[in-house]
A = this chain, B = another copy of it.
Amino acid sequence: MPNQTFFNLPDKKRQKITDLAILEFAHADYDTASISNIVKQAKIAKGSFYQYFADKKELYLYVVNLAYDQRIAFIRENHPTPEPRDFFESLRWLFHVSVQFNLQQPLLTQVINRAAYGDSPVKKILLARAQATARQYIQDLVQKGMAQGDLIPTIDPDLATFIIVTASDNLKYYIPQKLGVETQKIAEDADFELNMQAIDHIFDQLVQVFKRGMGQR
């Protein structure tokens, strides 16, 4: 956790530092990201920075946790109405809302992706953190789905979770490739609505396969 001094800072200054840190860890992995660059951009002295954060690790953990928190909050805030009728409707909604977050918060998304795949001295802590968010959420959905009889009872819940989570995590590669657009560009693209329709169509197809593959009929 950052020092209290950091939280005593004027909101604007604290936010500036935070934003620049997010930018830095979105654009470069842990080792390549540079504190020197952050303080230069933020126009604060190195020494000041080290009054707020004990070291690079502390800043990194702070930033990554921030990113995860925001994603969780976003998903919570956008809970679907009406309540989904079954497991696959829930899944369908989760895909949609996840992509919304990725589009609205590309930098935070980058930070999270790097945290999941990259090297860092705090990798183990972050893996645990990752488990606790998206994966746990889907795991709960699966459990509920099985209890409700939406899923075939013979499937291993862990396997079902695995298949869905990995597909979900990697949609970020598939969608741009399929659409022939860069992820970052989708949000600012003139054909935004068209693209969103295409994305939703992909989700429909994907959920269809899952339903066929492990849904009760």
Contacts and interface: CB of A to CB of B under 8 A. Distances in A.
Contacts of A117: 117-118
Interface stretch (A14-22, A58-66, A80-88, A204-212): A204-212
A199 to B, nearest CB: 13
Given A117-B117, A118-B118, A209 B163 contact: yes
Nearest to A211: B213
A194 to B, nearest CB: 18
A178 interface: yes
B213 A156 contact: no
A158 interface: yes
Interface string A168-212: 011000100010000000000000000000000010011001101
Given A31-B29, A117-B117, A166 B159 contact: no
A170 B174 contact: no
Contact of A213 (B32, B162, B202, B212): B212
Contact of A119 (B32, B167, B206, B210): B32
Contacts of A212: 212-214
Contacts of A160: 209
B213 A209 contact: yes
A162 B158 contact: no
Contacts of A213: 209-210, 212-214
Interface of A: 28-29, 31-32, 117-119, 155-156, 158-160, 162-163, 166-167, 169-170, 174, 178, 202, 205-206, 209-210, 212-214
Task: Give the 3 A-B CB pairs with smallest separation, nearest first.
Answer: A213-B213, A166-B170, A117-B117
Given A159-B209, A212-B213, 8 more contacts: A29-B29, A29-B119, A155-B209, A158-B178, A159-B202, A159-B206, A162-B174, A166-B167
